[in-house]
Structures are given as structure tokens and as C-alpha cells.
Amino acid sequence: MKMTTKRWLTPVLSLSLLVPTIAAASTASAAEPAKPSASTPAVELRATFDYLLSEHFALAVDAMIKKYDHSFDAAAAQTALEKNAKDMVPAIASIYGDAGAQAFDKIFSGHLNYTKDYVAAVETNNAAEKADVAAEIEEFAVNLGSFLGKATGGKLPAATAQSVLRTHEAQVKEVFDDYVAGDYGDALTTYREGLGFMFKISGALSGAIVSQMPDKFMGTRSDTPAGDLRSALNNLAAEHYALAAFSMQKGFGKSPAYPAILKAEEGNTDSWTAAVASVYGKAGGDAFKQVWVGDHINAQDQIVQATLKGNASDIAAARAKLSKFSVDFGNFLGAATEGNLPAAAATAAVAEHERLVLEAFDLYMAKDASGLYASYDKGYSFMFGVGKALGGAIVTQKPEMFGMKPTGPVMPSVKSIWLKVGSKTAKVDAQSVAMDVAPGVWNGTTYVSLRTLTMALGANISWNPAKNEVTVMAGSDTMVFWIGSDMAKVNGKTMDAGSKLFIKEGRTQVPLRFIAELLGWKLDWNTADWSITLTKAM
């Protein structure tokens, strides 16, 4: 069953905390510096979790795909995943001591065999083994969620942590399942979602820890606008590196997934462009995109194609483009930040990033598996230095944009959602978006994919396979549904949903009117064309 949260509407520079309960619990004193900073103790904690948690997701997916493809580096990918888990231990120890770190490690490292087990179960199509893996993952979610709830003194509630962990594991599984099915576009879309979700988790976890022990973080907060900026840049930079490394490998291997990976890179480019435009205006975003694409993204593909042809002169020409890009982009960043990120320093950083991307590609071609993943870790972690440097420069340049008020949870300012029975095209504030399953009428009740509304509203959705249970957290509301049941629980109160929930094409279908009105949306039918408009004043 697919339970995704595609990022139609997430503002690039305003990644919110995952759930309101955490924001409400954040009571750290406002001892922030006189000027906004992207490098406070609390923000540094958040950035550490940004790196460790997002790399875990990237490596988990990579390890599963490499094992399924019987790639020469499959064992090294699993080893890298296990190393990432061990890298988390010192971070936990610095907060909760050695005993806490050991307890965390036992739970976290102990669940990593599921990647190998699930791949084996898929290859043999063994239902019993798949069920065993599902039970293993559920046990992990319960145990780690309980650990986090207890460790944070309830600042991150155990039930919330468990729900979040289930969503994460479902995203890893969905990427892999779509890859196996040949649905590469869906796999890469969910990959981007899943990676981004880890940054929300790091924001929530760091917020809970800072709230729990404010003195340890000198009274600073992790959820300031400057902290959000740095985390958002961390996300974009890390995603870019991961996709670049993945695309060049799959391109060299002539994988049918290669076009979808290139498409995902285009999505990353668009997100970068939107981020730059949010700070420097449309003209700045357009200028960024022009520099970013031509001698950069396109050059990586040209290197792959020239390498496959064995054309040394074309390889050299394409690699020279990346050198030119380093200078051009460094100059762009220097000018855009008015020297707060000096052009020379920016150029050197971009050149090092490109060197690490090419190093990983060369090691892959040489089939140096251990060298590849050592390089991958360097290349991935390097991007978080980029996020720190660029974020710090922007905050220093434009302090008025990143005032000291903590951001707390941010819900997208959606004013209208348009749907049509039988159509997979929806419109959110007049912008067309694609749906996996069209709204339909069954037994006189109009149903819509639960995912449609939750994504449009910026809500979080999680799936508990052991209970056949779907949980939605939207603003201050928590709703729980069960497949095959016409009952729901809303903020702890049992209610009649009017009709039973069911699964269609892997998506949960819910009575439209019930959930729309529950969330305070007005529903208007147009019987002439069977369209529905949901409106809400924000």
C-alpha cells in the first residue's frame, strides 16, 4: 500500500516542524544573538541531524536497489548504511550520555537487516517473508519511538515519533517497490519526498531536545527563520549530490531508470531556483538557473554519454565545462551575497563538490566499491558545509528577512482546491497538479484519495500496516481511519465517516464531504461537469 506525501506545496525556505505538539512544547528561552544567525548551538544540532538522518534514507534506498540489481557494490552500500548508523552514536551520546547512545544504537543498528531481508522477499515473492519484514519494521518504529519519547521527556511524544518512523519506513519501501515495478518516475518522486521528510524529522527532533535542555544550547532555538533557511539549503544541496552520483552511475549502466533520475534533477533545479528567487527575486532565480544548468547538470550527462562512447576529447570537454561552472557559479554567489560569501571561496567550494562527484563516478567505473562509498560519504557530508556557508552569508546580508521569532509549524496558504470526478488533474489555487487516482462516486458517495487533501493542506500522513490504520495530522487536528471501517477518530473522539474507507490503485479513498468539512473547507458541486471546489479563507 502506498502512503506518500508528495511535495506539491511545501515552501522551500519554510520547512516547518513536523507536528504542532512539538512546537507547543518548545519553551527554550529566547537568548538568541543580537542578530539572526544560522550557526547557533541549536541550529548546529539540527544540521547534524539533517546530515545523519538524510544520509540514512539515501543509503537505505541505495543499498536495497544495489542488492536487487546484483550490483558489484551492493555489499559496500549495506556497509555504508551500517556505518551511518554508528556515526549517529556520538551525536546521541553528546546529549544523553553513553548509556543512552548504546540503547539507541541497539535499536537503530538492529533494524538495518530489513533492507536485505525485504529485497530477498521481493525477489522470491515470498509473502510470509514480506510479512516478517513488516513486523520487524513495526517493532522498530514502536521501540525507537518509545525510546525517543522517554529520552526527550515527552517533548517528542512517543506516539508521534512512532507515526513519523512508520512514514519514513513506508517511503523507503515505496521507492524500492516502484523501482522494482519499473515505475521509475514514481520512485524518484517518492525518493525526493522521503529525503525531504528526513529534514522535517531532524527539525522536530532537534526542537524537542533543545526544548528539553535549553541551557545545553545556550538558550538558542533550532526553529528560527535562519535555522529553517540553513536546513532548507542543506536539503537542496544534499539532494543535488545524491541525485548527481546516482544519475551518473545509472547513466553509465544504461539503466532504464536514468531518464527519471534526470527528471528528478530537474525538479531539484526548480526547487533551487525557487529558493534563490524567494531571497533575490525572480530575476535572481532566473540568473541562477541559467548558470546552474548549462555547464553543470547538462555537463554531467555529457560526461556519461561521452564515457559510454569512449570519446576522450568529448569527456575532456564536458569535464572542462564543470570547471567553468565552478568559476561562473562562484562569481554568481559572490555577487548575489554582496561578498558575504566571497567569490573565491564559493568557487573553491563548488570546484571541490564537482571533484567529489567525478571522483565517485570514476570509482564506480573502476568498480572500487569501498572507495566509492568512502567518497560518497565525503561528497554527501560536504554539501552540509555548503548549506552552512551559503545560509550564513544570506542571513548576514539580509538580517531583516530572518528575524528572531521562531517559525513554529507553517501550513501552506491554500485557498482553493478544484477536483473533478473521473479526472486525475486537480487544481490547487488554480495551479494544475497530477493525481494518482481520480475522484469517483461509489454507492452514492463521492470519494477522493486521502493523499490528495493531505498533500494540498501540508498535512502529515502515516500508515500502520499492523492495524490497517491511517493517521493524518493537519494543524492541531489528528484523525485516525481504518480501511474497511466507516468510523474515524478525530482528536480522540470517535465519529461516523458516513461510508467505509477502501483501497483503490494502492491509495486510501475517503468520503470527500466528511473529511473536507471536518477540516473546515466549504464544498461546492458543479453538476454540469461533475467538478468539486473546496474553498477556505486563510
List the strands of the sheet with 440-442, edge to edge.
Answer: 440-442, 445-449, 507-511, 502-504
User: What pLDDT is attached to residue 9?
Assistant: 25
Query: Could you report the per-residue pLDDT of 68-86, keeping only the tens digit for each?
Result: 999 999 999 999 999 999 9
Angstrom CA distances, 69 to 63, 75, 120, 387, 411, stand at 10, 12, 12, 33, 40
Query: Could you report the per-residue pLDDT of 7-64, keeping only the tens digit for each?
Result: 322 222 222 223 322 233 333 334 555 689 999 999 999 999 999 999 999 999 999 9
**What is the spatial distance between Cα 402 and Cα 38, in angstroms, rounded to a whole number?**
9
User: What pLDDT is attached to residue 457?
Assistant: 61
Angstrom CA distances, 122 to 61, 73, 179, 291, 322, stand at 14, 20, 12, 43, 40
DSSP string covering 391-402, please?
Answer: HHHHHHH-GGGS
Those residues of the chain that have pLDDT short of 50 are 1-30, 408-412, 538
3-state helix, strand, coil in the chain (%, to 5): 65, 10, 25
- What is residue 456's DSSP assignment? H
- What is residue 444's DSSP assignment? T
Yes or no: say if 238 and 384 are a contact pair by the CB < 8 Å rule: yes
Q: Cell numbers 469517483 correspond to what residue?
A: 440
Task: Report residue 470 CA to chain centroid gap.
Answer: 20
Residue partners of 187: CB distance under 8 A and separation at least 6: 174, 175, 176, 178, 179, 257, 260
**What is the spatial distance between Cα 192 and Cα 175, in angstroms, rounded to a whole number?**
10
Residue partners of 418: CB distance under 8 A and separation at least 6: 426, 427, 428, 430, 531, 532, 533, 534
What predicted TM-score, i.e. pTM, was given to this entire model?
Answer: 0.76
Yes or no: say if 489 and 480 are a contact pair by the CB < 8 Å rule: yes
Per residue, what are the HEC states of 490-536?
ECCEEEECCCCEEEECCEEEEEHHHHHHHCCCEEEEECCCCEEEEEC
